[in-house]
Chain A
Amino acid sequence: MTLATATSARPALAFDKLGVLIALVAVAGAFLPFSIFRANRIVLGEGRMLIDALDGPSAWLTIAAIAVGILVALIRLAPAVKLAIALAVLAVAFVMIGRSATYLTPADNTFARVSPGAGFWLLTFAFALMVADALTRLRFRPWPRIAMLAAVGAALWLLLWSGAWNDLSILKEYANRASAFWNEARTHLLLAFGSVAVATVAGVPLGILCYRVRPVRAAVLNVLNIVQTIPSIALFGLLIAPLAWVAANVPGASTIGISGIGTTPAMVALFAYSLLPIVANTVVGLENVPEAANDAARGMGMTGGQRLMSVELPLAFPVILTGIRIVLVQNIGLATIAALIGGGGFGVFVFQGIGQTAMDLVLLGAVPTVALAFAAAVVLDAIVEMVSVGGRTQ
């Protein structure tokens, strides 16, 4: 029997094992409160089931979309079909949560809050799982992956820009502090990307040095390993005193913005955490350069410096980039902690929210952080794949 007939001989309505899991989660999601209504931002909320959370037609449209989604999840179909259906169900859920907020908020009531309920989150999780599975099976090339990320980003931006979500609690928190939000966003990006940039400039040469001079390697890697074990909040805190001393005693230091509290210690701590993965990956990348390539370069009469720049570093580049990817994603997350020492960033909202037990405020800080880390991971993974194409996969 050929492979083609073997495939077509399969029953047309075969069950998909993962689909059963997705369907169970989605069914649970459909029977849990879709949104949560609260009289004001900190009281306990009451859940509203789908049928009560939306006007009649919208509710039935949502239920129909979920039903189709569950059916498609259960049956074995081409991944592209599953991807399209799952994205469509997600789009319906995302539009409807905004409608639900508008529907549930009484007119002229500025205190009432509507936020997504457990049902909405489970539905999102179920169909996001379906998207992830379809994407894993489709194995897109790097550019289409980046294009998809951009398309999803544009769709979310459209939702936000159209005002469809304006009655959702998280956006009411945003509306109250829009200028602070963008300020903290700038700080967050500066902390995460700035520290990685500085660590790359310092870490790659340090990695080259470690690769060339063996005794330096053990010492440097040991010190960097120990730095990694210090908890981030402690490292942030421990840098306050020395930096305050530098600001007070080194002429000109305070004029360029060095101070004990605020962004500087956060930046230095993130830089310290970034060094190990970048240095270690530079060493590993250089060590993995095939001996034959080096020999050929030597045979061509290249000097040590020429070999480094035109043979070793280009060949090690994908591995070094992998190190930068790890560090960037890690620092986007760690930068939230900077808020504890007055360093700003999205962590400001997370910790304010924890302090006021206002969970929507926590979300206002956490959601952009997660989205940013996710986007950075997708883009850098794609770039790593592009630069390793044709060469070795690390």
Chain B
Amino acid sequence: MSVGLVIRLIVLALLVAFLVSPQTFVFVFRPLVRAGQPVIYNQGSLIDLTLNHLAIVGTAMVLATALAVGLAILVTRPFGAEFLALSRSLANIGQTFPPVAVLALAVPVLGFGTAPTLVALFLYGLLPIFENTLTGLTNLPPTVTEAARGMGMTGRQRLMRVELPLALPVILAGIRLSTVIALATATIGSTVAARTLGEVIIAGLLSRNTAFVAQGGIIVGILAVLIYDGLSAIERMLMRRTGQAGRQA
């Protein structure tokens, strides 16, 4: 077992321990509060908020992946070829929309709560996944696609057995990027009353309690780092399996 893996497992264990029994960690956060302030977030259960946070991000990412990969497949087929250039520039334009603006503008349509947050994370998650799927599907080694064609595979067979498996690590890199952005952006969702870890941070900002801010921030930060590393490890594994270890993701 490598040192890095051991450190990550320890961090994960600490995170779980903190979520299950936050009171044990009072000594860590005590220096951050002023006299009389509560040390540990006391307006709800941290573990519930964390699970809810992950559920919102997970749902948004599954939906975003389904649509983004589907669209990318469509525009790389002969039928959708004329959409390719436009979809690239739209993805580029979409990235200039700040997440807060997307979130705020979704509220009039969807009301307060989880729905606008889900939509904002979904829309914001589409772009990196779409871009990476495009890159993955258009940068395949020509020798491989030629060989598949030569074997008499139909378009669908080539897509399912050759193109998608080879592009998978690059697609996964896009999902990883989207997920890390979504984990942080979900906290902003609490300004429109979504139940995420942002509640902890905002409660801290409102009551000038730095310990709350730190708790919310640290949980999200650790989740992001662990998920980022986990997905990177899966990508490397897939790269090895498809014999692309030398290629750039």
Asked whether, in the complex, the Cβ of B96 is within 8 Å of the Cβ of A231, the reply is no
Contact in complex: B107, A237 (CB < 8 Å): no
> Is residue B22 contacting chain A, with contact meaning CB distance below 8 A?
no
- With a cutoff of 8 Å between Cβ atoms, the chain B residues found around residue A363 in the complex are 105
A370 CB within 8 Å of chain B: yes
From A137, A226, A241, A374, B93 is in contact (CB under 8 Å) with A374
Q: How far is the CA of A229 from the CA of B80 in the complex (A)?
A: 36
Q: Indicate if the CB atoms of A234 and B213 lie closer than 8 Å.
A: yes
Question: Which residues of chain A come closer than 8 Å to B225, judged between CB atoms?
Answer: 226, 229
Look across to chain B and name the residue whose beta carbon is closest to the beta carbon of A368.
Answer: B101
Chain A residues within an 8 Å CB radius of B104: 350, 353-354, 362, 365-366
What are the residues of chain B within 8 A of A136 when measuring CB–CB?
85-86, 88-89
**Size bin of chain A's contact surface:** 35 or more
Check A234–B98 contact: CB distance below 8 A: no
A350 touches B100 (CB 8 A): yes
Say yes or no: is B95 at the interface (Cβ < 8 Å to chain A): yes
Please tell me if the beta carbons of A241 and B217 are within 8 angstroms of each other in the complex: no
Once A18-B86, A350-B104 are accepted as A-B contacts, the answer to whether A226 and B95 lie under 8 Å apart by CB is: no
B187 and A231 contact, CB distance less than 8 A? yes
Is residue B170 within 8 Å, beta carbon to beta carbon, of the partner chain? no
Q: Which residues of A contact B216 (CB under 8 A)?
A: 231, 234
| Min C-beta distance of B26 to chain A, whole Å | 18
- Stretch from B38-46, B65-73, B138-146, B198-206 at the A interface: B198-206
Q: Is the CB of A238 within 8 A of B86?
A: no
The SS class assigned to the B binding surface is helix
A17 with B82: in contact, given A341-B205, A359-B108 (CB under 8 Å)? Answer: yes
Residue A202 at the chain B interface, CB threshold 8 Å: no
* A62 on the B face (CB < 8 A): no
Q: Contacts A18-B83, A132-B89, A340-B191 known; A231 to B221 CB distance under 8 Å? A: yes
Is A336 an interface position by the 8 A CB rule?
Answer: yes
Question: Is the beta-carbon distance between B217 and A237 smaller than 8 angstroms?
Answer: yes
B188 within 8 A of A: yes
Once A132-B90, A234-B220 are accepted as A-B contacts, the answer to whether A369 and B82 lie under 8 Å apart by CB is no
Interface flags for B162-195 (1: CB within 8 Å of A; 0: not) read 0000000000000000001001110110011000
Chain B residue at minimal CB-CB distance from A234: B217
Which of B93, B187, B208 has a CB less than 8 Å from the CB of A233?
B187
B136: interface (CB < 8 Å): no
Assuming A230-B220, A369-B98, what are 13 further A-B pairs, CB within 8 angstroms?
Answer: A229-B220, A229-B221, A230-B221, A233-B198, A237-B210, A237-B217, A238-B210, A240-B208, A333-B101, A354-B107, A365-B104, A370-B101, A377-B96
Sort A-B residue pairs by CB-CB distance and give the 3 closest, nearest first.
A333-B98, A234-B217, A237-B213
Query: What are 25 A-B residue pairs whose CB atoms fall within 8 Å in the complex?
Result: A18-B86, A136-B85, A136-B86, A228-B180, A229-B228, A231-B183, A231-B217, A232-B187, A233-B198, A238-B217, A240-B210, A332-B98, A333-B99, A333-B100, A336-B98, A340-B205, A341-B205, A354-B191, A362-B105, A365-B104, A370-B96, A370-B101, A373-B98, A377-B92, A377-B96
